């Protein structure tokens, strides 16, 4: 049995997914074209802050909360017609998460290159 390394998993995912930069994501949020989803753990948000206009869904709960019948859709906190733009701290978890959402059937899904590190150096407001 061959077990793949995280580098291999991310490399394979990157060939199949859409990657955008923080500036492109900022424009999409400003134009209300996407759902900005922070998949970092709660302790990461407590330490570094959260991104204004983002929805927090920890990576471990992502597939559950992005089920089309979940409360986030029912309550209007997410719009299934808009692109799902994910980010984590640096881009590894979000790349794998985008691949998982593609496996669920999501077509309009991407992640932010460089994650929160890149976001914190961009026009996004950290709250």
Averaged confidence pLDDT in the chain? 96
Top-confidence residue, 10 or 39: 39
Beta-carbon count within 10 A of 95 CB:
24
**Three-state secondary structure call for residue 22:** helix
33: pLDDT confidence band, cut at 50, 70 and 90? very high
The answer to whether 82 and 35 have CB atoms below 8 angstroms apart is: yes
Q: What percentage of the chain exceeds 90 in pLDDT? A: 97
pLDDT of res. 1: 87
Decide: pTM greater than 0.75: yes
Q: How far apart are CA 89 and CA 37, in angstroms?
A: 12
The answer to whether 103 and 21 have CB atoms below 8 angstroms apart is: no
Measured over the CA atoms of residue 63, residue 66, residue 68 and residue 74, the dihedral's sign is: positive
Q: Which two tokens stand for residue 72?
A: 């986030």
The answer to whether 37 and 57 have CB atoms below 8 angstroms apart is: yes
pLDDT of res. 18: 97
Decide if pLDDT at 105 tops 90: yes
Domains, the chain, with CATH or none: 16-120 (3.40.250.10)
Instruction: Write the pLDDT tens digit of every residue in 61-86.
Output: 999 999 999 999 999 999 999 999 99
Average pLDDT for residues 17-44, to the nearest whole number? 97
């Amino acid at each position: 049995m061959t077990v793949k390394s995280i580098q291999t998993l991310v490399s394979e995912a990157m060939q199949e997914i859409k990657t955008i930069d923080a500036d492109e994501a900022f424009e999409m949020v400003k134009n209300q074209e996407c759902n900005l989803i922070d998949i970092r753990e709660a302790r990461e948000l407590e330490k570094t802050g959260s991104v204004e206009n983002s929805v927090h869904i920890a990576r471990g709960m992502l597939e559950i909360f992005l089920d089309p019948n979940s409360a986030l859709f029912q309550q209007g906190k997410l719009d299934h017609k808009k692109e799902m733009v994910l980010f984590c701290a640096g881009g590894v978890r979000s790349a794998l998460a985008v691949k998982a959402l593609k496996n669920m059937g999501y077509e309009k899904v991407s992640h932010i290159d460089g994650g929160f590190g890149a976001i914190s150096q961009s026009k996004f407001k950290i709250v």
